[in-house]
Amino acid sequence: MTALDTLLLWLDIAGIAVFAASGALVASRKQMDAVGFILIAAVTAFGGGTLRDVLLGRVPPFWLRDPAWLAVASSVAVLVFFTAHRVESRFRALLWADAVGLALFAVLGAEIALLAGAKPWAAVLLGVATATFGGAARDVICNEIPLLLRKEIYALAALAGAAVFVALRVNGVWRDPALLAGMAVAFGIRAIAILRGWSLPAYKPRPGRDYPN
């Protein structure tokens, strides 16, 4: 294994770990038990990659090919179970863990799609899907308002990161600088959005009323 592959492996592990942490933090908000922590951590960490793998025809998906991924996600979930009460604001911790995962998976998902032969534009879309699906599933199952739907820039950060990575790769830049540049762009945009409340102009006129009956 070369130094480059080692970097990629560690980025992958980091992505699984931070998304697992974000899932476990939502589980703590819902006062679930340790099994629930592991389950929601796994759904969040594996959801996006599973969608990507199924859409690319790569089955069984990655977490069924190597037990290490489950070990990482459940260790993180158990760790959060025992330590979350020490976190000053679990909601902010959740936001940041999710932001790191979003940046890593947008780029890593696009990379895997490119390697599987997807066209550049399709690789960008699969990167966005990899980055956003796990968190959306976490929020829908736990009945939270999906981060996707909140006001601050979210999906756009994943899109920008994946697009930068793919554009660099297609134009001959080496993998590692391209990976790091894409992740930096995605995380940077999302981080500023969280810190400054940056948002895109939203549709304003009037909210929808409840469904008539």
Binding site for a copy of itself (CB under 8 A): 26-37, 39, 50, 54-57, 59-61, 63-65, 67, 70, 81, 84-85, 90-91, 118-119, 121-122, 125-126, 136, 140-146, 148-151, 153, 155-156, 159, 199-205, 207-209, 211-213
Question: Minimum distance from CB of 141 to a copy of itself (Å)?
Answer: 6
Q: Nearer Cβ to a copy of itself, position 11 or 166?
A: 166
The Cβ-side half-sphere exposure at 45, using a 13 Å CA radius, reads 33
- CA–chain centroid gap for 164, Å, is 17
Return the amino acid letter for 85. Answer: H
Judged by CB, which is closer to a copy of itself: 11, or 124?
124
Q: How far apart are CA 210 and CA 37, in angstroms?
A: 33
Classified as helix, coil or strand, 116 is coil
Minimum distance, C-beta of residue 9 to a copy of itself, in the bound complex (Å): 20
Identity at 46, one-letter amino acid code? F
Nearer residue to a copy of itself within complex by CB, 28 or 44: 28
| Least distance (Å) between residue 160 CB and a copy of itself | 10
Q: Which C-beta is closer to a copy of itself: that of 14 or that of 55? A: 55
Q: How far, in Å, CA of 190 to CA of 107, rounded?
A: 14
d(CA 94, CA 168): 30
Residue 33 to residue 39: CA distance in whole angstroms: 10
By beta-carbon proximity to a copy of itself, the closer residue of 70 and 178 is 70
Q: Least separation, in Å, of the C-beta of 33 and a copy of itself?
A: 4
